[in-house]
Amino acid sequence: MLNKILISIPCYNEAQNIEKVILELQSDFSVADILCVNDCSKDNTLEVIKNIEGIRFLNLPINLGYSGALQTGFKYAVENNYDYVIQFDGDGQHIASEAKKLYDKLINENLDIVIGSRFKENSGYKHGFFRTMGTKIFIFLIKLFTKQTITDPTSGFQVLQKEVFTRYSKIHNFPEYPDANLIIEMLLLGYKIDEVPVKMRLREFGVSMHGGFWNPIKYMIRMFYSILMIFINFAFQLKK
């Protein structure tokens, strides 16, 4: 019996990018179903998606943000009995052929989560100053508390097996930025996580949610708070 694979793409104002993303996936990773979660876009993202043959889509009535759209995809995968979910961005940065590398590693090594890493090998990809500093701190914290090195803990390019995305679908307060915090929590819970070096493109059109001056700072503050709460909760559970 073939595995059911879902590529889940949160979309917000990606009218200029999403068609190219979908057509590349249909060409280079055709074994997977594609779900676009339109997060109440203000442009014509939804119309672009509707005009592409063979695409599943959900149109959210209000803007839930990236994490809300991502969790909506997990809920859809659970409801429709998928075996694996691939998180994939709608801005054109993720490359369809690289997704197969992540999936193959997860299957061949019986892992729970595989992360597409921009930094495991030198791909030439660079963050801004604040995210670079934050990433280095996240790498240090993950190594300190879990004894595992994750080179790209803020990568949203991931493959998840069913138990993982089912767990994510049920988190009541799903974190606004589901990155290093969830990786730390899952490692502490004993899930098997590894990385695959991947290439990523720079965004061609539109604005990143981490763009500007204040957004990266806000991201780091909220991420550190989320990680702190995970450590506190985990320590509390150990004392029970």
**What is the β-pairing status of strands 158-161 and 113-117?**
antiparallel
> Residue 124's pLDDT band (boundaries 50, 70, 90)?
low
Average pLDDT of every residue of the chain: 89
What is the model's pLDDT at position 238?
A: 63
> Residue 219's pLDDT band (boundaries 50, 70, 90)?
confident
What is the model's pLDDT at position 160?
A: 98
Q: Give the containing element (helix H, strand E) for 235.
A: helix 214-239
Query: Each residue of 172-201: pLDDT tens digit?
Result: 888 888 888 999 999 999 999 999 999 998
Distance CA 203, CA 142 (A): 28
Distance CA 79, CA 166 (A): 10
> Residue 132's pLDDT band (boundaries 50, 70, 90)?
confident
Asked if residues 84 and 106 have their Cβ atoms less than 8 Å apart, the reply is yes
**DSSP 8-state class, residue 86:** E
Asked if residues 70 and 8 have their Cβ atoms less than 8 Å apart, the reply is yes
CA distances to 23, 72, 130, 207, 233 from 17, in Å: 11, 21, 26, 11, 40
Q: Does residue 211 register a pLDDT over 60?
A: no
Asked if residues 177 and 226 have their Cβ atoms less than 8 Å apart, the reply is yes
CA distances to 24, 47, 181, 224 from 15, in Å: 15, 8, 30, 32
DSSP string, 27-53: HH-TTSEEEEEE---SSSHHHHHHTST
Specify the higher pLDDT residue, 222 or 191.
191
What is the model's pLDDT at position 209?
A: 54
- What mean pLDDT comes out for the span 95-110? 96
Percent of the chain with pLDDT over 70: 90
Query: Each residue of 44-82: pLDDT tens digit?
Result: 999 999 999 989 999 999 999 999 999 999 999 999 999
Strand, coil or helix: 98: helix
What is the model's pLDDT at position 212?
A: 58
Rg of the chain over all Cα atoms, to the nearest angstrom: 17
Q: Does residue 170 register a pLDDT over 70?
A: yes
Q: Does residue 3 register a pLDDT over 80?
A: yes
Distance CA 42, CA 115 (A): 30
- How many H helices and E strands in the chain? 8, 7
What is the model's pLDDT at position 240?
A: 57
| pTM across the whole model | 0.89
- What mean pLDDT comes out for the span 83-102? 95
Indicate the domain borders of the chain: 5-239
Distance CA 66, CA 210 (A): 11
What is the model's pLDDT at position 34?
A: 98
User: 5-239 is classed in which CATH architecture?
Assistant: Alpha-Beta Complex (3.90)
